[in-house]
Structure 1
Amino acid sequence: MSSILFEIKNSVAYITLNRPDKFNSFNREMALLLQSKLDECASLHEVRCVYITGAGKAFSAGQDIGELVGEHKVELAQILSEHYNPIVKRIRNLPKPVVAAVNGVAAGAGANITLCCDIVVAAESASFIQAFSKIGLIPDSGGTFTLPRLIGWQKASALMMTGDKVAATDAEKMGMIYKVMPDIIFEEESKKIAETLAAMPTKGLAYTKHVLNYSFTNSWEEQLQLEDQFQQKAAATEDYQEGINAFLEKRSAKFNGK
């Protein structure tokens, strides 16, 4: 059985981490296959939004510890440079919105991969854990960059050092994630978000994502200049013209992502 399930429906690419017996912990096969599927999503015009979730009870428990020990162990340096860093870079550079639908526990790298997605929604029963300190490691997969910017330095530092579990409802309150949904409607409602994004002017969404990436490091003046540059790009798209025409004609717009 493949460690990644992949389906395209209604212009959404559904990616499911599929090692439920291991709480969808990452091994080399799953990490490389996820990269391949993200590349496929980037290249296919029919894909206008990406939705990532986990099979079974977990989103992802992070790294499969079994790969870190034994005769055929994979070194941490290789895991970061070939597994996790390429994954989070692909998500941030993908010119399409990425929704993380956190159906259960998201721990370690599993948690930090969700935090680099554009929209993170979670089931009420889900939780987030910066589990690295429990085995003497530091947070990776971009977590030391994203989490302090989402919830502030002090709280991020505490969660990373203590390894405390954060319930989905608390994660929403502190601004770590976008929204929590009751378990019974989570799958249906989270997919609606992805389908809504896929029907929007996705070229403009890609430009929004690009400009947001630079907002972490640009000065105020540099960011204003970047907004000016990409607003002009957005105004030159077919979707912008369709949006204007639909507004003037009092009808629903039909965007094509161009």
Structure 2
Amino acid sequence: MTEYQTITFEASGPITRITLNRPDAANGMNHTMTRELADAARRADNDTTKVVVLTGTGRFFCAGGDLKEFASAPDRGAQIKAVADDLHRAISSFARMNAVLITAVNGAAAGAGFSIAVTGDLVLAAESASFTMAYTRVGLSPDGSSSYYLPRLIGITRTKELMLTNRTLSAQDASQWGLVTEVVPDAALADRASKLADQMAATAAGSNGGVKNLLLATFGNGLEEQMELESRLIAERARSADGREGVDAFLAKRKADFA
């Protein structure tokens, strides 16, 4: 267990668990938290980690930015820019690492909490979880990659509704909209996240990273460019140890043992 002030970080074999840990502040993101989160994401981006589980402590997943800290800063704009930049570094690492990011949304996810929750490759939500943008309510605008991911996940019209009206979605609403992979009872969230992490830990990290890279590129590429990326990546995977093991195991009718 590595010591941070505002998060916990625990790496155990192929699984890393990161927990937002400011329960008395609704896990609000201050500069310390986003700086630590960026560092934790960087450390989890390695050849050993296959899964990262991100969750929160207490009743909230994350209530967004810490407005009290922002308000006390001599230059509020500079303070928020620094917080957002570190959060964006964390999200970039999560998006581009081979490891599968599982976000286990244990409670309310607002503002940047909403933004980072839906960046998960697999998003689990407790039944009591809720999702709201909340930025314009305090005269701010979205960050945390929400203006990138939300239009791709739910379309422009629904994104505008969430961002302009600050509508709150229940966990079931978020699931129906395509923002959540699975809704589970509150008491079962941690166990379900652990079981899903174990399942993903048995898969090929390079294959998972290939899926993530392809999907990140798909909206920016034309058909031929995307197919060229597909062919290059699948050839790279075929040459890899995991690719050879996967094909050999399939032909031998045995379970693959990925490194």
Q: Name the TM tier (shorter chain).
A: over 0.9
Q: Displacement, 1:132?
A: 0.3
2:65 maps to 1:63? yes
Given that 1:10 and 1:195 are in contact with CA atoms closer than 8 Å, whether structure 2 keeps it comes out as: no
Map 1:170-249 → 2, pairs under 5 A: 170-249=173-252
Equivalent in the alignment of 1:105: 108
Equivalent in the alignment of 2:133: 130
Task: Measure, in 2, the Cα distance between the counterparts of 1:239 and 1:96.
Answer: 15
Give the AA of the match of 1:125.
Answer: S
Map 1:37-76 → 2, pairs under 5 A: 37-43=40-46, 45-72=47-74, 74=76, 75=78, 76=80
Give the AA of the match of 2:68.
Answer: G
Structure 1 unaligned spans of 5+: none
Equivalent in the alignment of 1:31: 34
Give the AA of the match of 1:6.
Answer: F
Residues 228, 163 of structure 1: alpha-carbon distance in 2 compared, 3 angstrom cutoff: same
Aligned length: 254
Equivalent in the alignment of 2:10: 7
Q: Of 149, 155, 158, which residue of structure 1 is paired with 2:161?
A: 158
Task: Measure, in 2, the Cα distance between the counterparts of 1:5 and 1:126.
Answer: 21
Give the AA of the match of 1:48.
Answer: K
Q: Tell me the SS of whatever aligns to 2:87.
A: helix
Equivalent in the alignment of 2:124: 121
Q: Deviations over 1:170-211 (max 9, x none)?
A: 100111121111112111012211221111011111111111
Q: Sequence identity of aligned pairs in percent?
A: 34
State TM-score, norm by structure 1.
Answer: 0.94
What is the RMSD of the two structures over their aligned residues, measured on CA atoms? 1.5
Residues 196, 71 of structure 1: alpha-carbon distance in 2 compared, 3 angstrom cutoff: closer
Task: Measure, in 2, the Cα distance between the counterparts of 1:116 and 1:218.
Answer: 21
Q: Deviations over 1:1-21 (max 9, x none)?
A: 731111123521000000011
Q: Deviations over 1:26-51 (max 9, x none)?
A: 111111111111111113x3321111
Structure 2 unaligned spans of 5+: none
Give the AA of the match of 1:213.
Answer: L
State TM-score, norm by structure 2.
Answer: 0.93
Q: Displacement, 1:217?
A: 0.9
Q: Tell me the SS of whatever aligns to 1:46.
A: coil
Give the AA of the match of 1:51.
Answer: V
Given that 2:246 and 2:256 are in contact with CA atoms closer than 8 Å, whether structure 1 keeps it comes out as: yes
Q: Displacement, 1:157?
A: 0.6
Task: Measure, in 2, the Cα distance between the counterparts of 1:114 and 1:225.
Answer: 31
Given that 1:62 and 1:109 are in contact with CA atoms closer than 8 Å, whether structure 2 keeps it comes out as: yes
Q: Tell me the SS of whatever aligns to 1:69.
A: helix
**More displaced 10-residue stretch of structure 1: 1-10 or 233-242:** 1-10
Q: Deviations over 1:49-92 (max 9, x none)?
A: 111000111111110001211255653333323x2221221211
Q: Displacement, 1:152?
A: 1.5
Given that 2:27 and 2:63 are in contact with CA atoms closer than 8 Å, whether structure 1 keeps it comes out as: yes
Given that 1:115 and 1:176 are in contact with CA atoms closer than 8 Å, whether structure 2 keeps it comes out as: yes
Q: Of 57, 61, 83, which residue of structure 2 is paired with 1:79?
A: 83
Give the AA of the match of 2:223.
Answer: W
Task: Measure, in 2, the Cα distance between the counterparts of 1:77 and 1:28.
Answer: 10
Residues 52, 252 of structure 1: alpha-carbon distance in 2 compared, 3 angstrom cutoff: same
After TM superposition, the runs of 4+ consecutive aligned structure 1 residues lying more than 6 A away are: none
